[in-house]
Amino acid sequence: MNNKLLLPLLLFTIIGCSEGFNVEFSFGDSKSESSNLEIDNAFASTYAPMNSEPMLFKSANIYDGLGGEFRNYDLLLSEGKIIEMGESITAPGVMVIDATDKWITPGIIDIHSHMGVYSAPGVSTSSDGNEATSPVTAEVWAEHSLWTQDPQFALALKGGVTAFHVLPGSANLFGGRGATFKNVSQNTIQAMKFPGAPHSLKMACGENPKRVYGNRRQAPSTRMGNMAGYRTAWIEAAEYTDGMNEKDSDRRPTRDLAMDTLMGVLNGEILIQNHCYRAEEMAMMIELSKEFNYKITAFHHAVEAYKIADLLAEEGICAALWADWWGFKHEAYDMVQANIAIIDQARNGSGCAIVHSDDAVGIQHLNQEAAKAMAAGNRAGFEISKAHAMRWITSNPAKAAGILNQTGSIEVGKDADVVLWTGNPFSVYSRAEKVLIDGALAFDMNNPKIQPITDFDLGIIQPQTNRVQ
Amino acid sequence: MKKLFTTLSLLFLVAPVISETVLLKGGLVHSGNGGAAIIQDILISENTIVGVGNNLIIDGNTRVIEVSGLPVTPGLISPMSNLGIVEINSLDVTRDDESELLSAGFSIFNAFNPHSTGIPWNRSNGVTSAISTPSETSFPIFGLGSHFILDGSLEIKGSKDIAMFGRLGASYGSRAETLSLLESLLDIGKMANSMPVEEILELNIADQLELQAQDIIALGKVVNEDMPLVIETNRAVDILQALAMKQKYDLNLVLESVEEAPMVLDQIKASNTPVIIDPMDNIPNSFDELGSSLDLGKMLDQAGIPIMFSTQRSHNYHLMRQGSGNAVAHGMSYETAIKGMTQTVAQTFNLDNRGSIEPGKLADIIVWDGDPLEPASFPKIVMIEGQLQDLSSRSSKLTERYTNTENKPSSYKH
């Protein structure tokens, strides 16, 4: 009967990613001058937007995802882009949708997902998120594990999620590369990949790596062992990067997939997403990043981020957080519901707070999680508006994923990734009525034909019906 | 008004109420019995509700608390928690929810720690009492749950060993074996009605199942004394198997999780079986849960089946508010949601004198700062048995410390 540990351990193996953002390293324009351009193009996105027609939303209430709130506004989408937002737009011949008393937001973005790598059903044959065979597995890519028929994608879509970042788990010091996806149903992984989005590298602090490897009587088994493991790898990566920059190709080292990833970080092309709960460990990771001259984009799970909110704001590091999960392990003990708000308000409001899920249920309700975090912040004495809090689930995660140039806000010229909500999105009673990705209707609450049903769902309970109707 | 209200509630925190009469005036009272909310006053004398209405007669010594239209509900009751018996899930040394020796008769009651940090946290979020349960094991019956009042007192208030908990479905080995094992256990329970426990212990089957006297006594209570048996199960056909077992042994059965219940609503309804659900869990986490959907709450409600709520994750049992709010967003009635967090739990588990705002009931009452089903809402007043509770928690202390801008090390901010 001694399976007490089993459930929490299973749970923990799916916990943990961390990401970071870096505005100056927006994807696409920062190709390394070193010798591996061809590497960057491997497994590139083949995403093509679904067919769309121009659409005009009339009399909507809009949160633009940047802190703005617009009442009774119109929004025009065409050819996959946001064309115009204004008080009275006319566009003859365009499909008009009456959005009176409804709300429009940017598509919701989750910076921390394991959909597709820990698919549903959660059976052992689909447990593809942790290559827990060595503490340094920077060579693996989460996207190579992705199952395109995971029914969780469509459930997240119904919650308004238009893009998500899939990370490896947190068993390892370096868990591997993460990738960003558009929430579209496609039969190949590349066809779902967000075009031009940078990779991330998942790193993990604290209890998980030291437990996984300590239990096997190998390093790391302590937090100091974790640090030694990171530093050893970065020393090797720095040498590898120098070697790859040799003009004489004969003097370059043999290509190494793990080192390619670490080099990508040192070159500013790959964003660090760092699973890290405790304040002093995050501060230590910042020191580490300075020692080896790389940038941390975001700390993930960061239950104690509020203790070093000013430091994170000064360093320009985002914190991707839950509204209230705690107690499942010791490093998640000091939970405060105002964590997200404290991060947001640090250094005169210059902090970068993100609500993340790390969970297939949570990803469907990020709007509600933001509502809880905002209310807790306001009870703690801040004055945070809904329009401002909307940033936590739209533009801030877009920034951390390196895709803010394309999505994450309602701005002219951006991808038409938008959600029409039945009511105010901070209310539990509001539902995503229409979800558009690149201007195409990906989900419509009122039209069963515009609700994706995966191959997995099809006829699986009874042949006449589908798993979800 | 809001400011005045805060001041008033602070006043009460500073000076805890000692045996007196209190009038909660003008709240939007959800009585918990499934009826619509109306503006009413609630008169509380000592630990008991003595009047609910609009023209209650009070004397000059009655303390009047203006509630001014804020929503009022009974204190929430978690039907399945690990409050007081698990501090940190990953640390075995902080867990008391599993027995190496006992199975059906394992009682967690004496392990309850009223100082566990989860208690003030859940209390400040509106949970005034909870059933704590043993954790799932490889054996299909895990043990007995007890009901605890979350006032943090070392003088533990609650009801010991009020229900037995188990499971049926994909887990360890074939579910056919699990079913047969469950029936063997219930047969043993039946024997306890007519045979001394010592003799049952001598039987081969008792030996094979490594049963102890406590296990047999507890099984006897389930079969012969109507103690609720809570079975976690999801697959439609497993639900039917559980209902057949209920009929065969005349059990006081409660079903938990039941993600495929929409396929067998008529049978659940006909058997008068209440259910505990997590309305937000629409993930087909296993091949037992393929029918999982956000419509579960609505379907059960429309069939008239009594519903209670569990939560996806540990430590935050108040999140059943968010869960039931989502169920309402998908078609469950609002008052079923409130009732499911209060009176339905009390009725199902025989927690007499709790779970509704009615004269004669113990005064476990929450005044909310907004709609209690909105996740952003929070209690203004938490009352347990007539006593106003301090709303602070370790979490609120940390918040105060780290929003304090004094220029000194955090260790000195207290």
Q: Average pLDDT in the B64-88 region?
A: 98
Q: Average pLDDT in the B136-145 region?
A: 95
Please judge whether B284 and A120 are an interchain contact, meaning their C-beta atoms are less than 8 angstroms apart.
Answer: yes
Q: Is the peptide bond before A452 cis (omega within 30 degrees of 0)?
A: no
Q: Is the pLDDT of residue A12 over 50?
A: no
Distance of alpha carbon A415 from alpha carbon A77, whole angstroms: 9
Q: Average pLDDT in the B363-379 region?
A: 98
Are residues B84 and B114 in contact, defined by beta-carbon separation less than 8 angstroms?
yes
Q: Average pLDDT in the B143-158 region?
A: 97
pLDDT (0 to 100) of residue A30? 38
Query: Using a CB-CB distance cutoff of 8 angstroms, which residues of chain B are in contact with residue A379?
Result: 378
What Å distances lie between residue A254 and A39, A231, A249, A258, A337, CA to CA? 14, 21, 10, 12, 49
Please judge whether A3 and B313 are an interchain contact, meaning their C-beta atoms are less than 8 angstroms apart.
Answer: no
Predicted confidence (pLDDT) per residue in B247-256, tens digit: 999 999 999 9
Distance from CA of A369 to the nearest CA of B (A): 8
> How far, rounded to the nearest angstrom, does the alpha carbon of residue A300 sit from its chain's CA centroid?
10
DSSP state of B366: E
> How far, rounded to the nearest angstrom, does the alpha carbon of residue B376 sit from its chain's CA centroid?
21
Nearest by CB to residue B280, choosing from A9, A326, A361, is A361
pLDDT (0 to 100) of residue B3? 42
pLDDT (0 to 100) of residue B173? 87
pLDDT (0 to 100) of residue A39? 53
Q: Is the pLDDT of residue A27 over 70?
A: no
Please judge whether B376 and A372 are an interchain contact, meaning their C-beta atoms are less than 8 angstroms apart.
Answer: yes
Q: Which of residues 426-445 of A touch B (CB under 8 A)?
A: 426-431
Please judge whether B314 and A328 are an interchain contact, meaning their C-beta atoms are less than 8 angstroms apart.
Answer: yes
The single residue listed with the structure tokens 């994608």 is A153
Does A203 contact chain B (CB < 8 Å)?
A: no
Distance of alpha carbon A51 from alpha carbon A46, whole angstroms: 15
Please judge whether B88 and A337 are an interchain contact, meaning their C-beta atoms are less than 8 angstroms apart.
Answer: no
DSSP state of B230: E
Query: Using a CB-CB distance cutoff of 8 angstroms, which residues of chain B are in contact with residue A330?
Result: 88, 90-91
Nearest by CB to residue B284, choosing from A151, A335, A430, is A151
Residue in chain B closest to A115 (alpha carbons) equals B283
Q: Is the pLDDT of residue B153 over 90?
A: yes
Looking at per-residue pLDDT, the higher value among A220 and A11 belongs to A220
Helix (H) or strand (E) holding B301: helix B296-302
CA-closest candidate to residue A141, choices A278, A257, A284, A300: A257
Phi-psi region of A323 (alpha: psi -120 to 50; beta: other; left: phi over 0): alpha
Query: Using a CB-CB distance cutoff of 8 angstroms, which residues of chain A are in contact with residue B373?
Result: 428
Nearest by CB to residue B375, choosing from A207, A325, A371, is A371
Nearest by CB to residue B89, choosing from A329, A335, A372, is A329
Q: What are the structure tokens assigned to A66, written together? A: 């940047």
Q: What are the structure tokens assigned to B220, written together? A: 């006897």
Buried b (16+ CB within 10 A) or exposed e, B206-240: beebebbebbbbbbbbbbbeebbbbbbbbbbebbb
Which residues contact residue A41 at a Cβ distance below 8 angstroms, ignoring those fewer than 6 apart?
A: none
CA-closest candidate to residue A130, choices A278, A17, A28, A34: A17
First to last CA, chain B: 30
Q: Is the pLDDT of residue B386 over 50?
A: yes
pLDDT (0 to 100) of residue B20? 81
Distance of alpha carbon B41 from alpha carbon B43, whole angstroms: 7
Distance of alpha carbon A409 from alpha carbon A263, whole angstroms: 31
Residue in chain A closest to B100 (alpha carbons) equals A1
pLDDT category of residue A20 using cuts at 50, 70 and 90: very low
Nearest by CB to residue B137, choosing from A1, A329, A371, is A1
pLDDT (0 to 100) of residue B18? 52
User: Could you give the angle at which helices A207-214 and A223-244 cross, rounded to 10 degrees?
Assistant: 100
Nearest by CB to residue A461, choosing from B291, B313, B328, is B291
Q: Is the pLDDT of residue A83 over 70?
A: yes
Please judge whether B291 and A360 are an interchain contact, meaning their C-beta atoms are less than 8 angstroms apart.
Answer: no
Residue in chain A closest to B137 (alpha carbons) equals A1
Please judge whether B90 and A207 are an interchain contact, meaning their C-beta atoms are less than 8 angstroms apart.
Answer: yes
Helix (H) or strand (E) holding B2: helix B2-14
pLDDT category of residue B350 using cuts at 50, 70 and 90: very high
pLDDT (0 to 100) of residue A24? 34
Predicted confidence (pLDDT) per residue in A348-386, tens digit: 999 999 999 999 999 999 999 999 999 999 999 999 999
Query: Using a CB-CB distance cutoff of 8 angstroms, which residues of chain B are in contact with residue A428?
Result: 322, 325-326, 328-329, 373-375
Q: Which of B282, B296, B368, B410 to mutate to test the interface with A (most CBs of A within 10 A)?
A: B282
CA-closest candidate to residue B169, choices A195, A121, A357, A98: A121
Please judge whether A428 and B283 are an interchain contact, meaning their C-beta atoms are less than 8 angstroms apart.
Answer: no
pLDDT (0 to 100) of residue A244? 97
Quick one: three-class SS letters along chain A? CCCCCHHHHHHHHCCCCCCCCCHHHCCCCCCCCCCCHHHHCCCCCCCCCCCCCCEEEEEEEEECCCCCEEEEEEEEEECCEEEEEECCCCCCCCEEEECCCCEEEECEEEEEECCCCECCCCCHHHECCCCCCCCECCCCEHHHHCCCCCCHHHHHHHCCEEEEEECCCCCCCEEEEEEEEECCCCCCCCCCECCCCCCEEEEECCHHHHHHHHCCCCCCCCHHHHHHHHHHHHHHHHHHHHHHCCCCHHHCCCCCHHHHHHHHHHCCCCEEEEEECCHHHHHHHHHHHHHCCCCEEEEEECCCHHHHHHHHHHHCCEEEECCCCCCCCHHHCCCCCCHHHHHHHHHHHCCCEEECCCCCCHHHHHHHHHHHHHHHHHHCCCCCCHHHHHHHHCHHHHHHHCCCCCCCCCCCCCECCEEEECCCCCCCCCCEEEEEECCEEEEECCCHHHCCCCCCCCCCCCCCCCCCC
pLDDT (0 to 100) of residue B79? 98
Please judge whether B315 and A427 are an interchain contact, meaning their C-beta atoms are less than 8 angstroms apart.
Answer: no
Q: Could you say which architecture CATH assigns to the domain A6-46+106-401?
A: Alpha-Beta Barrel (3.20)
Q: What is the mean pLDDT of chain A?
A: 92
pLDDT (0 to 100) of residue A198? 97
Predicted confidence (pLDDT) per residue in B7-53, tens digit: 444 444 444 545 589 999 999 999 999 999 999 999 999 999 999 99
Residue in chain B closest to A426 (alpha carbons) equals B376
pLDDT (0 to 100) of residue A18? 34
pLDDT category of residue A41 using cuts at 50, 70 and 90: confident
Predicted confidence (pLDDT) per residue in A261-320, tens digit: 999 999 999 999 999 999 999 999 999 999 999 999 999 999 999 999 999 999 999 999
What residue ranges define each of the domains in chain B, with the CATH number in brackets? 2-74+375-399 (2.30.40.10), 76-354 (3.20.20.140)
